[in-house]
Amino acid sequence: MDLIPLPHRTERAEGFFELGDGFGIEAGPGTEGTARWLRATLGAATGFALPPKKGDEYDVLHLSVRSGLEAEEYRLVVAPHGVHVQGGSPAGVFWGAQTMLQLLGPDAFRRAPLPGRTWRLPLTEIRDAPRFRWRGVMLDVARHFMPKDGVLRYLDLLAAHKLNVFHFHLTDDQGWRVEIRKYPRLTEVGSWRARTKFGHRASPLWEEKPHGGHYTQDDIREIVAYAAERHITVVPEIDVPGHSQAAIAAYPELGNTDVVDTAALSVWDTWGINPNVLAPTDNTLRFYEGVFEEVLELFPSEFIHVGGDECPKDQWRQSPAAQERIRELGLKDEDELQAWFIGHFDSWLTARGRRLIGWDEILEGGLAKGAAVSSWRGYAGGVAAARAGHDVVMCPEQQVYLDHRQDAGADEPVPIGFVRTLEDVYRFEPVPAELTPDEARHVLGTQANLWTEVMEDRARVDYQAFPRLAAFAEVAWSGLPAPAERDFAGFERRLAAHYGRLDALGVAYRPPTGPRPWQRRPGVPGRPIDGPPPNR
């Protein structure tokens, strides 16, 4: 039946159930959102009204929340006279409905009915549940802004693959993307740069036009609500204390004014690790408390991501004010100063019922007990965090950074990093083998990351993400065997049908034969790295 991600158990019977104009939905308590979503999506593809129906009628899709099932577990039964989708929670029902949509064929993902199309489901019973509670995708909209409609579309793509966490990377050196009413210059100044490096940071090419944009607070509310209807949690990232030049360009007092002329800084127009970081002052802490106060109003997520990665310490070493703060706090060095900075916001978020998560550099200099770690520099940070009792999301750069190139061919557009093929992603294992069972329980799940330095538009993001994101979704959802024992050939066979779904959804994926002519970027330098990525 070519389902992706692969269900836990499937039993097929002879025959089909055919949907017709009279097909309707019985939505039990807690399933009204899934019924509404089906009328909007399946209704658009089929032209059927999908009216409310009672359980004793024929041609009914019965949606129900049932005790005895785990929260995201579902049971889908296609019988000769009707269809049943049961879930342990509304989320489970929704994932079951997504599977039903796949069973109907690729045209079920279109936005208008095709003439002469018939709709039928194979008689079957599927029992399924996810392996991990955190099945995430990080989208960087700071380097290249993605307008709101593109973000909503990506939420639909996540939902279609049963991914349930959207890590929204909203701020960086190259742009500030969320409206903060207390500090209007963050978007008035910080959301626009004068030009953009085209290709890797060593490239001589520039796009000589302004680039930018931001989401209003109502845009954010709409995105969060849209995600919630699809049982996706939006985790915002506000980067501190590094990756902050856009904020400093808007409010120069946030930078190390005793080292550099921060008033002369603009929003950064190139890529890499920026030396201009936040000053460790009380003024900076109060400023970002004001930012996070508004962020908490917009995002109800348990976790708030604070970045914490790639923060060069050179300005702090040169800054008399930073050195005085180190002495005043009785700290050993600049690493402990960053830990103090992160620790402040960990306590601040905890006092407000939230949890801090950050990239694995936040382990350096000590980490507050309640904080969680996104392990990106390989497995080592995740292993260290889990052994220290911290929750972990595994997203190692060498495995699931989807901005890395997919092939070694000369036609790959702007080749970055190691070759990470579809099969490489399919054989990725999120739980490090060296963890004990107790330590492994701290692995909340896994996440694929899309950094957009060389992804200038939606089509480029599609190309880098797909089809590898489909392989990642199966790793995150399905209880697959050990990496070497996984049936990649079977996955490829199912993926051949899945390409039809992606086509219907308008996804500009990388074809298995290589990039189409319009997907190439001839002459734009990248930074390919030869050899296999280190497993560390």
**Active-site annotation holds for 364:** no
| Cα–Cα distance for residue pair 73/6, rounded to 1 Å | 14
| Cα–Cα distance for residue pair 221/219, rounded to 1 Å | 5
Alpha carbon of residue 504 to chain centroid: 22
pTM: predicted TM-score of the whole model, two decimal places: 0.98
Q: How many CB atoms lie within 10 A of CB 71?
A: 15
**82-87 and 74-79 as β-strands: parallel, antiparallel, unpaired?**
antiparallel
306: phi then psi, degrees, rounded to nearest 5: -115, 15
pLDDT at 439: 97
Q: Is 177 in contact with 219 (CB distance < 8 Å)?
A: no
Query: How would you write 392-414 as a 3-class SS string?
Result: EEECCHHHHECCCCCCCCCCCCC
pLDDT at 57: 76
Active-site entry in 243, 404, 442, 498: 243
**Active-site annotation holds for 200:** no
| Cα–Cα distance for residue pair 151/171, rounded to 1 Å | 15
Determine the 3-state secondary structure of 27 from DSSP: strand
Residue type at 394 in one-letter notation: M
> Average pLDDT, whole number, for the chain?
97
| Cα–Cα distance for residue pair 239/366, rounded to 1 Å | 19
Q: If phi over 0 gives left and psi between -120 and 50 gives alpha, with beta otherwise, what is residue 378?
A: left
**Active-site annotation holds for 81:** no
Q: How many CB atoms lie within 10 A of CB 389?
A: 11
Active-site entry in 59, 107, 310, 364: 310
Tokens at 442, concatenated: 């701290």
Q: Is 510 in contact with 520 (CB distance < 8 Å)?
A: no
pLDDT at 55: 72
| Cα–Cα distance for residue pair 453/469, rounded to 1 Å | 19
Active-site entry in 72, 128, 140, 172: 172
Q: pLDDT tens string for the chain (536 positions)?
A: 899 999 999 999 999 999 999 999 999 999 999 999 999 999 999 999 999 998 777 799 999 999 999 999 999 999 998 999 999 999 999 999 999 999 999 999 999 999 999 999 999 999 999 999 999 999 999 999 999 999 999 999 999 999 999 999 999 999 999 999 999 999 999 999 999 999 999 999 999 999 999 999 999 999 999 999 999 999 999 999 999 999 999 999 999 999 999 999 999 999 999 999 999 999 999 999 999 999 999 999 999 999 999 999 999 999 999 999 999 999 999 999 999 999 999 999 999 999 999 999 999 877 877 899 999 999 999 999 999 999 999 999 999 999 999 999 999 999 999 999 999 999 999 999 999 999 999 999 999 999 999 999 999 999 999 999 999 999 999 999 999 999 999 999 999 999 999 999 999 999 999 999 999 999 999 999 999 888 76
Residue whose pair of structure tokens reads 């106060």 in the numeric block: 293
In eight-state DSSP terms, residue 270 is S
Tokens at 348, concatenated: 């601040």
Closest by CA position to 296, among listed 342, 235, 246, 339: 235
| Cα–Cα distance for residue pair 169/143, rounded to 1 Å | 9
Percent of the chain with pLDDT over 70: 100
Q: How many CB atoms lie within 10 A of CB 117?
A: 14
Tokens at 323, concatenated: 């050195």
Residues 6+ apart with CB under 8 A from 26: 52, 53, 54, 55, 60, 61, 62, 63
Helix residue spans in 299-352 (DSSP H): 314-318, 320-329, 334-350
Residues 6+ apart with CB under 8 A from 516: none
